[in-house]
Structure 1
């Protein structure tokens, strides 16, 4: 088939699928924003999007749709040039989050359109208002959040099919749209992530960590409240006090992925760190920023415990990767995590805001690794059976694209 992937940050969620379709002999291309310089073995075309400033007073709740639809228009015009050159894809697979797929059916009505329906914004029952400490919450915020879903609804309504990575993320869509969605996880490479006794990870101070060491990890793209950074840091003083040999390794940037920045500007890293700065041993708390994926795999392999928290929102790959590596995950008792972890069976769950509960759970997990070995084994077995990249997820994704092509 002729297959076109569309993603402003390509490859994004198509990191494994696009090369796999290419390997299978299909004519695969990608379309992405010109500011995205990430390399790929897939031939990649780039459009240039320079949005005009939006006047909030004029557009009001439509300002988000204005920006997203403007991008969609730019992508459609670029696509029309491709059509004029004779290119007509059989299947288009695009992320619906930034408006890129909105008008592609107007250019290629004969193509099948699959959208990656990552999450549907809603005013109640999700991330909005979940954390009263860091989120402005009221009727206006509810309306703003619900209004942000307009382009996502349009994208899915005009698509032939949708794909969400988890049941929770699919469930955020209204019933009429949920019926269009298949749930297939992106996949994690369970072979590469298999426990590795020979793994080593060197900290910036020269300390070399190995499997069996008392290592606690916290990993996210950025350190921010949406991913529970504040709760984790508030739990650390008691953890470090109770476990004098523990090393805490924190991976994540200081930008904003989700939610609002601190009122004083900048990122959340130091704002939260300042709360506990005088109560932690800084020689045992290591902030690494963002690190290459190979280094992340080594870190996961030497970790005894991995802490993962999230609002009711998009699930991070890192949590599932830790489970695949046989690392004990202590996760927040929120819907995205509960879909993956059964408390006491494949990991531990703690109420998101229960700081003393987090301290106690992390201390116990660090202190008694042998008691948690059955959970580690069960977690790895569950991920291999349900979320393995090669044996489960890629074949299902390929099958979905094949079925779409055949109608």
Structure 2
């Protein structure tokens, strides 16, 4: 078959699937934004995006829809060029519906099977918006803004022949009328690659070498921000370090904002750190920023406990990767985390807002590593049995694309 993947940051969620389909003899191509500089073995075409954002005075609540339909328009023009000038006619189109890219493709290729990656559907109740009132107060203007953000997602789902979500919780964010279209299969993690290593070691910027067995607490997020509970974690740290004088804390993440609203001044890291700086031994707290993937893996192999917090939103790959590495994950008691972690079985759960509970649980985890060894083993077993890339997820993903 001719299979076209569409993703503004390709390969994104299709990193393993696209090459696997190519290896099976399909003619696979990708269409992505011209600003995307990631390298891939898949033949890739590009569409251009205007640099100007919609004028909010004109677009008002339609600003998001304007942005998404602008992108859809550019994608459709590029698709028409592929059809008319290059003779490319896909049998299957698989795109991420989150950025509007699939909206007009039926007008270009009406006979192609239209698949979408259904990652998340917004709501004004029960999900991320308004969950943490410190950063998101659920006013009427915000409710209206969230409601209109669903427009391009709903249109994409109406046009899709089938959809794919990585987790049950994320699929359930979609309305019942769309839920019947959705198949649940995670992107998968390579559990052979992401496995414990008792010899792992890492040299910190200050020269200190961390090794397996050291008292190391890890925290990872794309950016230090409220959506991933950075404020709760940092507020819990002073009591953790007071109780565990040998503990070292390693924090991976940038100073931008991936999902949260941009901070009013400076960075969230500086803002949250300012609250606890006077009570924190900063010589034992190591902010590494964004690190190479190999370093991320090594640090999780070393860690005695790994804190993962998220509001009810898309689950981070990093938590599943941490479990595959045999980490003891102390996670927030929120929907996306509870789907994978059962408290006291394959990890620990703490109420998202319970700062004292976070301190106490992390102190216990650091103090008694032998006690939690069965949980670490069960965490890895959970991923091997349910989220393994080669043996479980990739075969299911291939079937999803290849089925008529």
Query: So what's the TM-score if we normalise by structure 1?
Result: 0.97
In the other structure, the counterpart of 2:80 is 80
Provide Cα deviations, 1:224-248, integer angstroms capped at 9, x if missing partner. Answer: 0000000000000000000111110
**1:132 equivalent in structure 2:** 133
Secondary structure at the residue paired with 2:128? coil
Aligned to 2:119: 118
C-alpha displacement at 1:15, in angstroms?
Answer: 1.2
Q: CA deviation at 1:354?
A: 0.2
Q: Is the 1:201–1:299 Cα contact (8 Å) retained in structure 2?
A: yes
Q: How many angstroms apart in 1 are the aligned matches of 2:9 and 2:346? A: 33
Return the alpha-carbon distance in structure 1 between the equivalents of residues 51 and 152 of structure 2.
16
Secondary structure, in 3 states, of the residue corresponding to 1:36? coil
Find the aligned partners of 1:335 and 1:65 in 2 and give their Cα distance: 28
| C-alpha contact 1:89 1:111 (8 A) present in aligned 2 | yes
* Mapped partners of 1:19, 1:196: distance in 2: 28
2:196 aligned with 1:195: yes
Unpaired segments ≥5 residues, structure 2: none
In the alignment, the residues of structure 1 paired with residue 288 and residue 106 of structure 2 have an alpha-carbon distance, to the nearest angstrom, of 44
Deviation of residue 57 (structure 1)? 3.1
What is residue 153 of structure 1 aligned with on the other side? 154
1:220 aligns with 2:202: no
Displacement of 1:51 in angstroms is: 5.0
Following TM superposition, by how much is the alpha carbon of 1:198 offset from its aligned partner in structure 2, in angstroms? 1.5
CA contact (8 A) 1:51 1:70 kept: no
Aligned residue pair count: 403
Whether contact under 8 Å (1:123, 1:144) holds in the other structure is no
Pairwise CA distance, 1:60: 2.1
1:382 aligns with 2:382: yes
Q: Tell me if structure 2 keeps the 8 A contact 1:250–1:286.
A: yes
> Is the 1:128–1:135 Cα contact (8 Å) retained in structure 2?
yes
Which residue of structure 2 aligns with residue 235 of structure 1? 236
Structure 1 CA distance for aligned equivalents of residues 283 and 18 of structure 2 = 43
Q: State the 1:56 CA deviation.
A: 2.1
Q: Distance in 1 between matches of 2:67 and 2:195?
A: 43
Q: Secondary structure at the match of 1:201?
A: strand
Structure 1 unaligned spans of 5+: none
Report what 1:99 is aligned to.
100
**8 Å CA contact 1:185, 1:393 repeated in 2:** yes
Structure 2: how far apart are the matches of 1:225 and 1:143? 22
| TM-score normalised by L of structure 2 | 0.98
Structure 2 residue aligned with 1:296: 296
1:181-192 map, 5 Å: 181-192=182-193
Return the offset for 1:207.
1.2
2:9 matched residue in structure 1: 9
Alpha-carbon offset, residue 382 of structure 1: 0.9
Q: What is the aligned partner in structure 2 of residue 258 from structure 1?
A: 259
Shift of 1:52: 4.1
CA RMSD of aligned residues (A): 1.0
| Partner secondary structure for residue 349 of structure 2 | strand
| 2:70 match | 70
Question: Is 1:38–2:38 an aligned residue pair?
Answer: yes
Quote the residue 1:308 is aligned against.
Answer: 308
Measured in 2, the distance between the counterparts of 1:247 and 1:168 equals: 34
Alignment of 1:347-358 (within 5 A): 347-358=347-358
1:141 correspondence with 2:142: yes
Give the Cα separation in 1 of the matches to 2:202 and 2:355.
29
SS in 2 for 1:141: helix
What SS does the aligned partner of 2:362 have? helix
The alignment partner of 2:306 has SS state of strand
* Deviation, structure 1 residue 102: 0.5
Partner deviation per Cα, 1:134-178 (whole Å, 9 max, x = no partner): 113212211211210100010111011111101111111000011
* Deviation sequence 1:337-385 (CA, Å, 0-9, x none): 0001001111000000000000000000000011111111111111100
Is this contact kept in 2: 1:118–1:170, CA < 8 A? yes
Q: Give, in whole Å, the separation in 2 of the partners of 1:276 and 1:42.
A: 48
Per-residue deviation at 1:400?
A: 0.4
Give the aligned partner of residue 248 of structure 1.
249
Is 2:26 the partner of 1:26?
A: yes
Alpha-carbon distance in structure 1 between the residues aligned to 2:325 and 2:255:
26
Does structure 2 retain, via aligned residues, the 8 Å contact 1:124–1:142? no
